[in-house]
């Protein structure tokens, strides 16, 4: 069973590394300058702004995706731990549930901060 978890974690790690590499590759391509000076004159300021906006959108989306995945995993672990605790000590269910909800609120707050930062990246910077 442990080897299955290791294999799946390796696959997830390789997938995330591939996604990060693709994002880095596309961001470099979007900032690449034309080789010919005549083509450089044709590139308008609007096209340059469009390239930076698309790169910002990719970065904001990737950051939001990472925050969402991390938050979902953290919430799952918190809920799993609290249900195990309630199963061991049913008389403490009220206090365990209160502490779990408080922890979930803090985790969700971190995700909302990531959303605010993503919105700032796209629209302000």
The whole-model pTM stands at: 0.59
Question: What is each CA distance from 123 to 20, 51, 61, 115, in whole angstroms?
Answer: 23, 14, 13, 12
Both tokens assigned to 17: 């590394």
Residues 62, 22 share a domain: no
Considering the domain architecture, whether residues 19 and 49 belong to the same structural domain is answered as no
Do both 27 and 49 map to the same domain? Answer: no
pLDDT tens digits, 26-41: 665 555 555 555 555 5
Q: What is the pLDDT of residue 18?
A: 77
Q: Where are the beta strands (DSSP E) in the chain?
A: none
Place of tokens 């990531």: 114
CA 27 centroid distance within chain: 17
97-108 as b/e: b if 16+ CB within 10 A:
eeebeebbeebe
Do residue 19 and residue 47 come from a single domain? no
75 and 25 assigned to the same domain: no
Same domain, 65 and 10: no
Distance CA(84)–CA(120), nearest Å, equals: 39
Domain with 98, as residue range(s), is: 41-123
Q: Which residues of the chain have pLDDT under 70?
A: 1-7, 24-51
At 44, phi and psi to the nearest 5? -90, 170
CATH number, domain containing residue 48:
1.20.20.10
């Amino acid at each position: 069973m442990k080897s299955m978890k290791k294999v799946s974690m390796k696959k997830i790690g390789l997938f995330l590394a591939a996604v990060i590499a693709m994002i880095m590759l596309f961001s470099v391509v979007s900032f690449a300058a034309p080789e010919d000076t005549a083509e450089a004159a044709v590139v308008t300021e609007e096209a340059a702004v469009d390239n930076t906006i698309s790169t910002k959108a990719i970065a904001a989306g990737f950051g939001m995706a990472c925050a969402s995945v991390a938050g979902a995993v953290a919430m799952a672990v918190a809920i799993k731990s609290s249900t195990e605790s309630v199963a061991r000590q049913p008389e403490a269910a009220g206090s365990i549930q209160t502490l779990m909800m408080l922890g979930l609120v803090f985790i969700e707050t971190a995700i909302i901060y990531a959303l605010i930062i993503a919105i700032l990246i796209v629209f302000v910077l």
